[in-house]
Each structure stands twice: as C-alpha cells, then as structure tokens.
Structure 1
Amino acid sequence: MANRLVESRTTAVPYVDVHETHTGMVVLVGDRAFKAKKPVFTDFLDFRTLEQRERACFREVKLNSRLSPDSYFGVAHLSDPTGGPAEPIVVMRRYRDEDRLASIVTGDRSGQSAQRLLDRIAEVLADFHEQAERDPVISQQGTLSAIEQRWHENLTELNRHAAETISGVSSPSVSKIEHLVTEFISGRAALLSSRIEGGYIVDGHGDLLADDIFCVDGEPALLDCLEFDDELRYIDRVDDAAFLAMDVEFLGRKDLGEYFLEQYVAHSADTAPPSLRDFYIAYRAVVRAKVDCVRLSQGKTEAEADAAAHVDIALRHLESGAIRLALIGGNPGTGKSTLARALAEKVGAQVISTDDVRRELRESGAIDGDPGVMNSGLYTPDNVTAVYEVTLRRARALLGKGHSVILDATWRDPQMRAHAQCLATETHSVMVELMCVATIDTAAQRIRARRPGNSDVTPEIAVELATQSDRWDDAYRVDTSRGRDLSVLSAHSVWRRAV
C-alpha cells in the first residue's frame, strides 16, 4: 500500500512526514493527515485540558466541513500506550504541495490555469456566503465601532513592533496607515450601515490563505478556517474574499488577486464600492504584517521582508481607496466634462454634472428661465445656487457610501468652492481641484462642434466668461489643448498624489 501511494505522486514525497507549529502538530501518513492540538495557552486560545482540545477538534471539523466536506473525515482518538486518556485528533485528507493554490499562482506565468481555479474558488466562496449564517450577533461585528476596534488592536500591536526597528515597519508608515484608516471609517457610517442592512455580514471563513487552498481535478478545497474566535470569523463577505486577494498579491501576482476579486463580485452580485475592497485588502495585509512580526520575534528571519511587503500592500490599497471629492472646473469649452468622464472611468469615481442637474431641475419645475443668457434666465444667482446645492447634496450621499465623486462644473464662484471644501472635510474625503484651460478660439470651436445635450452654453457666453478674471489658486491647471490622453494623465497624477 505504501509503495503504491508513493509511486502515484508526481514528486518524491515521503510516505510519513511531520509538521509542527506552536499550537499543534500535523502527521502526514499516506493519504491522510492527522492533526493534534498542543496543550498550550495563548492570547487567543486555550488548549490546556483534554476537554478543551476535544471541543476544538470537533469544532474544527464542523466549521471546515461547511466549505470542504470531502476534506475532513472526523475526529479520532490516539490511545496512550501507558494507559492515559486518549488524545483527540482531526483526521483529514492529505493533499500534495504542488496542488496548493500558492504553488499554482507562483508557477503559472501565463496565469490561465490560475485564473480558471480562482474563478471556481470565487464561485464556491460566493455560494458559501449566500448560505452562510446571519443573525444580529454576527451583524454586530460589522458595525463601525467593531471595525474600529479590530483596526485599533492590530495597529497597536504593529506599532509596538515598529518600535523594534523592523525594516519596512516604521512608526511613520504605521502612523500613515492609522490616518488613512481613520479618515475612511469616520466618513463611511452610511456605507457600513448599508452592509449590515443588506445582509453582507456573515459567519465566514476568516483565514483564506493561498497555502491552505488546494486543487484536485479542477475543484478547490478551502481548508483551515478561523475556528478559535467566532467574532473574528463574523465579517463582511467582501472582507473574507479580500483576504485571498491580498495573499495572492503578496505572492507577486497582483493581477490575479484583482482577477479573483472581480470574479467574486461578479458571482456574488455584491455592490460593494471599490474603496471597500481596498479597505479590507489593507486590513488583511496589516493582520499578516502583525503575524510576520511575531514570527520574526520567534527567530524566523525571513519574516522581516514579509512584514515590509504586507505593510506596503496596506499603504497602497489605503491610498488607492481613499475617498476623494474632485472639482473639475473651467470655462465652457475647456474640456472639463470630457476630462471628468475620462478620469472617472480610470479611477472608478462617480460624476455629477451641473449641466445635468440644471436640466433635471428645469424639467421638474424647480427652476425656470431661458437658457443661453449670462446672469439671467436659467443662470440667475438663485438658480445657480439651487443647482450647486443639489449637486453637493448628491455628492454627500455618494461619499458616505464609499464612492469617490467628480463634480463637473465651472466652479467660478469661490463661495461654491468653499462649500465643496466643507463637504470634503465633513465627509473625511480628500479634496482634488483641477481647472481646465484652453484658448478662447479653441473653446468656442468646441462649443460649436458639440452635439445637442444638457449644456445651454453658447460660444458668445464662452468668450465673455473667458475675458473675465477668474482666480482659482488652489487648482491644478490642466491644459486640455494638449489632447485627451495627456490631460487625463496629468489629472490622474494629481488624483493619486492627493491622499
């Protein structure tokens, strides 16, 4: 039997092998894996008594059988030859190292095999989350205060390690993470509440690592869920998926991490904004950085580079997911609407145009007047104020739900810009100010060439506005006469730096 098992493997794998951690031991024998708990007590678990270890074994089998019933055979008992009590052990299927997702991801240069597997994992995980348990106790872990507490605990620990002069885990980097996290959470109460109300907080897996997922005949086996702390397993389902996306990125395949998360969102029909995905990827990276620091303190020198890499991932995603409120302004015909739409497509932001709002308000009867005349008709001061108030009110709702917003308007009035700045401050959003510029002739020519739409501006109005003094010193000037691609490149550079 032993010879047949060894010969069936594609690599030389010992029939018997042993792996040990600080909390347990795994003995691999043939096609089985036997896991025993050590009688230890730590900050997060207590296995000191036989009864506690027995309960932990049964719980491990029960919880993991939700996702991988064919991988867990049950709990057996190892008899003591000296006559002592039998020790409980978890009996599992043994998998080959080359069938690990981590091996597949790092070994597949084209990414095609990994993509097929990740697509299937996304489907399995989405189905699991759809059926996962939900109740008020579970939902409580999705509240703003619970999420703040989790971040606080992990960052406090990471700060302690940063004081130990670990390369890549510095106090300034941890402080920056803290700032970005605080800004995101503080302005996103509406988003977090909507996740609870939508039933997105579930009893999940809680520890999705590429090393603990295997592929057999094209089907994934997702092992080793977090069983020692129920509250840490009660999470937003996007948080659950983000853990694996983060780990795949850590393995050097950011493209595959993004692919997996996109497939998960597609299979689950989840409406989470991209910023929330970035937020939870960063959270999982911080959790792993903390674990890396612990490993380093235990003498695992390779963990120092791992910690630095995880901190870097956290910072990148928090910066990418920071909520921004962008004002893209300028005189008519300077290309602000074109730039607003193009930048929004690149960064995943929502666009609100005052032209569109004005047309809606006119059609509803909220404002009236003839178009095409400066400071009268549709453009009286009262009508202009009404349009900007509605624009900012809609922006507030989107910012609170975790969407970055681009406001397409002239933004000539400093008072209106001040109102927008107040909105950014109140919603803990980063302000981005861009002013489009072009020659008077170019602007007039663009207006003449426009297709019919929501803008009522004439070339004459554009010329009149262009001759008026307009100081907007805080804005970055984008010369749109250079062409669309260069304009978007400049605007995107300003957007990315604004954190």
Structure 2
Amino acid sequence: MTNSEHSPVAHLICPEAYPHAVQQIHLRETHISWVFLTGEFVYKVKKPVDFGFVNFSTLDRRKHFCEEELRRNRILAGDLYLEVVPISRGPGGKLLVGSSLDIVDYAVKMHQFDEAELVSQMLTSGTLSQADVDELARKVAANHRGAERAIDNDWGTPELVRTPALDNIAVLRPLISSPERQTQLDQLEQWTLKRLDDFSSFFSQRKTKGFVRECHGDLHLGNIVRWRGRMIPFDCIEFNPGFYWIDVMNEVAFLVMDLDDHQRSDLG
C-alpha cells in the first residue's frame, strides 16, 4: 500500500471495516501515521513514508515496526497496548481490520482512553496532583533501573551525542532568512560546540557507567495518561534506536523541561 495508490483513510473511517461495533470514528493524523479512534479501541496505521530518520516504505517494515511499537510500549504501558492486527482487502476492494485474507497493511491496536486524562490536559485543567507526579517518577525510575544498558554498541558515545545536536542546527539554517536570527543561530551553534567539547569526557563516563539505556525516547506530557487509576507513559519511539538509546538523565530532563515550559517547575 502506498500513499498515492491505496490510502486506507477512506476505508477505515467506515464502521463496517472493523470486527466490532463502532458508532463514530475520529481520525488523527501525524506526518508518519494515521490514528483511528473507534470508541472502544484505537488503531494506529503507519504511513508508507521514508524520511531518512524513519522508514515505513514497505509492508514488511511497517509490520516490523508495528511489532516493535507493541513490544516497546508494553514495557511501560502494559495492557493499554493490545496487539498487532492485519488489514486485508476484502470483497469489492474494501479494507477489513483483523482479516488475513489479502493483507495489505498492519495496525497497532490499543484501548482508547479519555483524552482529558492526558497529563498535558490534566495540567491545564488543574487536576494533576503532586501524588500523580510522584507516582510517575517512581514508574520511570523503576523502568530505568531495569532497562537494558548500551554496553556493546556505540549509543551514547560523545560522537553520537554530538551528531543530532548539530543536525538540528543544520536543518534550521536554510529556513532562516533574517540576519538577526542567523546571528542567533550562529551563537547557538558556537555555544553547542563548546558545551559538547566541555562535556565529552562526561558523556564517555556516563556510558561506561551504564547510564545509557533503552529508554522511552519521547517522554513529554502529551505521551502520559492516567488510565485505570495509573500513570501510564505511552507512544514511545520505536522507529529509530538513536532516539531511545539515550542517557536516563536525558529522558528525565526532557520531562522536567516540559513541566518548566508549562510554568510548573515546582512539579519537577
């Protein structure tokens, strides 16, 4: 299935495509996936794209990364994630979720939750408590303690820490036309280079001591939900190991920065 030839959207917004009762379907779209909310369950379908840092261009790759998404998210999210299901072409060319007749794609199936229970929404509504944050901290810490360490690979070396930091600047440079902004970007680049040099030995020590581990990779407030009375991180990165084989301190800092950006550094 390709974007141009067989987009699944027209088929999967129809209740008849699903093996269970569906009253209404809502579609959410990102640059790499379609997400179908059916009321009781959510189905996440990967777009057949190749952006370099993520490659879902073939059916085999989409199946593999659906399986990786299920495996990795079950570490923290448990039974929020249910299974990988096939999507097949049935009579008349219609797509059917859960059928294995003529498989054209795959989806990750998970329970649908109340979006008001997203931590980002709870923070806005004032329903997020210190007890919630403490529970989340304990869960993340426990996961980090048990996570596999990057011992026999290069993840977390100074060179691999350096590359994405400088890549971010390279991506921004052609998008900026203002001389003032270009000067600011130059200053940021020089600051980044200096800090990378200053902390190079520290990065090496952190890796040697085993602090580079298989982490969530995208732990911000919009990827945490209070579900069935528990704080659940979900939607971790599955498509690029360089994004999730990181220092545990990196992961914690990402979440604390998000709290600070929402003017709630007191919860960090």
Name the larger-Rg structure. Answer: 1
Are residue 85 (structure 1) and residue 103 (structure 2) matched? yes
User: Is 2:49–2:57's contact at 8 Å kept on the other side of the alignment?
Assistant: yes
Q: Distance in 1 between matches of 2:31 and 2:204?
A: 38
CA separation in 1, counterparts of 2:206 and 2:185?
A: 27
Aligned match of 1:148: 162
Say whether the 8 Å CA contact 2:42–2:111 is kept in structure 1. yes
Alignment-derived partner of residue 175 in structure 1: 186
Among residues 13, 35, 43, which one is paired with 2:52 in the alignment?
A: 43
Structure 1 residue ranges (4+ consecutive) displaced by more than 3 angstroms after TM superposition: none
The residue that corresponds to 2:73 in the other structure is 64
Name the CA distance, whole Å, in 2 between partners of 1:137 and 1:159: 35
Aligned equivalent of 2:85:
76
Between the two proteins, the alignment pairs up a number of residues equal to: 237
Over residues 251-289 of structure 1, what are the superposed CA-to-partner deviations in whole Å (9 max), with x where a residue is unaligned? Answer: x22424xx32xxxxxxxxxxxxxxxxxxxxxxxxxxxxx
Q: Does the aligned pair in 2 maintain the 1:80–1:87 contact within 8 Å?
A: no
Q: CA shift at 1:172, angstroms?
A: 2.4
| 8 A Cα contact 1:106 1:253, kept in partner | no
Structure 1 residue 132 corresponds to structure 2 residue 156:
no
Q: Deviations over 1:443-463 (max 9, x none)?
A: xxxxxxxxxxxxxxxxxxxxx
Identical columns (%)? 25
Given that 1:102 and 1:248 are in contact with CA atoms closer than 8 Å, whether structure 2 keeps it comes out as: no
1:331 paired residue number: none
The answer to whether the 8 Å contact 2:85/2:108 transfers is yes
In structure 2, relative to structure 1, the CA distance for the partners of 1:241 and 1:76 (3 Å cut) is same
Amino acid at match of 2:112: R
Using structure 2 for the length normalisation, give the TM-score: 0.81
Indicate the larger mover: 115-124 or 98-107.
115-124
Q: Which residue does 1:188 correspond to in 2?
A: 199
Corresponding residue to 1:255 among 257, 260, 265? 265
2:72 partner amino acid: L
Given candidates 98, 111, 125, the residue that maps to 2:116 is: 98
Residues 1:231 and 2:225 are matched in the alignment = no
Distance 1:210 1:189, change over 3 A: same
Over residues 46-74 of structure 1, what are the superposed CA-to-partner deviations in whole Å (9 max), with x where a residue is unaligned? 22221111111111101111111121101
Distance in 2 separating the partners of 1:218 and 1:141: 35
Q: CA deviation at 1:131?
A: 0.5
Contact 1:117 1:218 in 2 (8 A): no
Number of the residue aligned with 1:471: none
SS of residue matched to 1:68: helix
- Larger strand fraction of residues: 2
Q: Which amino acid aligns with 2:34?
A: M
Q: CA RMSD in A?
A: 2.1
Secondary structure (helix, strand or coil) at the match of 1:128 reads: helix
Q: AA paired with 1:188?
A: F
Aligned residue runs from structure 1 range 456-467, under 5 A: none
Secondary structure of 2:78's partner?
Answer: coil
Contact 1:105–1:253 under 8 Å retained in 2: no
> Partner of 1:377 in structure 2?
none
Matched with 1:273 is: none
What is the match of residue 39 of structure 2?
30
Equivalent of 2:172 in 150, 158, 161: 158
Mapped to 1, the partners of 2:129 and 2:174 lie a distance apart of: 37
Q: How does 1:37-436 map onto structure 2 within 5 Å?
A: 37-81=46-90, 82=93, 84-108=102-126, 113-138=128-153, 140-163=154-177, 165=178, 170-250=181-261, 252-256=262-266, 259-260=267-268
- Contact persistence 1:213–1:223 (CA under 8 A): yes
Alpha carbons of structure 1 residues 125 and 48: separation in structure 2 relative to 1, 3 Å: same
Separation in 1, partners of 2:213, 2:58: 31
Q: Secondary structure at the match of 1:95?
A: coil
User: How far is 1:92 from its partner?
Assistant: 0.5
Q: Take 2:49 and 2:102, find their aligned partners in 1: how far apart are those partners?
A: 19
- TM normalised by structure 1 equals 0.45
Q: Measured at CA, do residues 113 and 46 of structure 1 come closer, stay the same or move farther in structure 2, by a change above 3 Å?
A: closer
- Letter in structure 1 aligned against 2:111: R
Structure showing greater relative contact order (alpha-carbon pairs closer than 8 Å, 6 or more residues apart): 2
CA distance in 1, matches of 2:116, 2:141: 25
